Amino acid sequence: SGLTNIDASLLTNLSTIDVDNMSNLESLNMSNTKVTILDVSTLTELSALEAKNCTALTSLTLTDSNAFTDLDISDCTNITEIDISTCKSLVNLNVSGTAIIALEANQSLYMETVDASDCTSLEALVMDQTSNNNLTSVDVSGCTSMMYL
């Protein structure tokens, strides 16, 4: 057993969290916090990470867990890059409103939705739809710097 869900979204002054020893954690909501660095690489059971509106967040290290299907870091305005190359089971990805410059979203064979709307710094979105028949929605509206799709 052990802790499986953490919702810290109402702890708006929270600036640090250590989840290294929370191996049973399945869902983590860090939205609206002041966390600057978030490392969930050791969370082998994590299926969903929500970190919306974490404007102080500058570094995010993800898990390569097969359970990891949902990532929402929308409106994390100081995130400039994200590595989802090990997230082979990702289904839903929301990076809208971030400062990401390039995004490679072709690693997951299960990806259904990608929301990169209002990423005004986003220049390239790389997706290989030949290996993914599940993709139903890609939103790049408001991506005024987009040069490659």
- Asked whether 15 and 33 are in contact (CB, 8 A), the reply is yes
By the 10 Å C-beta count (0-12 exposed, 13-18 middle, 19+ buried), 147 is classed as exposed
- Check: pTM over 0.75? Answer yes or no: yes
Give the model's pLDDT for residue 88. Answer: 87
Question: In the predicted model, is pLDDT for residue 1 greater than 60?
Answer: no
Give the pLDDT of residue 29: 97
Decide: 111 and 91 in contact? Cβ < 8 Å: yes
pLDDT digits (tens, 9 = 90+) for 47-101: 999 999 999 999 999 988 889 999 999 999 999 999 898 888 999 999 999 999 9
Mean pLDDT of all residues in 9-17: 94
